[in-house]
Amino acid sequence: MRTRLIAWWIALPLAGCATLTAARISGPLFSDASGGERLDFENQPLGRAPSGFERGVKHWSVADSPTAASGEHVLVHTGGDASVLKVEGGKGAKELRAEAAVRVFVGKPGAGVACTDEGRGGYLLRVEPEAKRVALYDRSGEEFALVGERPVEAEKGKWVRIGIRCGRGQVVGYLDGEVMASRRTDEAPEAIALHADAEVTAQFDDVRYVARD
């Protein structure tokens, strides 16, 4: 199945704090350098959303950057509504994994990667520069509960590599390839996504993802 990207719009009220639970699996997000699909935006036209995005997507475009995580192009979210670019192709998979280099320039709380479940919500791993942390949230309806967090010197404009792993009874958040937070869950993920909060300007690069049966 050809992978494509579509937009999914959400708001982010925060509520509560969930208890951190140890992961059953604490191995690497990707077991080898070649596994999974990659999006680095190098061959995409500048000034618009990459091919594969749903028509009418706002606030997202490919841009030239002399300080990209790699290469010369990045994906940028500039202000506007809170939004998510969802990677299709994972529906029915038992496990979804995603990783990306993320940096926030303007606004708060921040931006990150997510596993979505249309029926319930999903999980979001977000870089939050003003709070100096990376935080994992559990979404239930329109409420977000904190699952775990890790202090990090993620000042605005600095790249941070984060990843998320959902399915097989758990969700795990990664920072620079290491497990930083986890929780047991019965939720079945339907898609993986890139997320940016309202009025946030953020960049994404070196996106990697995989769906496993």
Return the pLDDT at 20: 36
Neighbours of 65 (CB within 10 A): 17
Return the pLDDT at 66: 95
Return the pLDDT at 15: 33
**Do the strands 160-167 and 201-212 form a parallel or antiparallel pair, or are they unpaired?**
unpaired
Kindly compute the dihedral angle of the four CA atoms of residues 79, 83, 89, 94, in this order, to the nearest 10 degrees. 130
**Do the strands 170-175 and 178-184 form a parallel or antiparallel pair, or are they unpaired?**
antiparallel
Return the pLDDT at 2: 38
All residue ranges of the chain with pLDDT < 50 are: 1-26
What the chain holds in terms of domains, given with CATH numbers, is 5-212 (2.60.120.560)
| Phi, psi for residue 129 in degrees, rounded to 5 | -60, -40
pTM (2 decimals)? 0.83
Return the pLDDT at 121: 78
Return the pLDDT at 134: 96
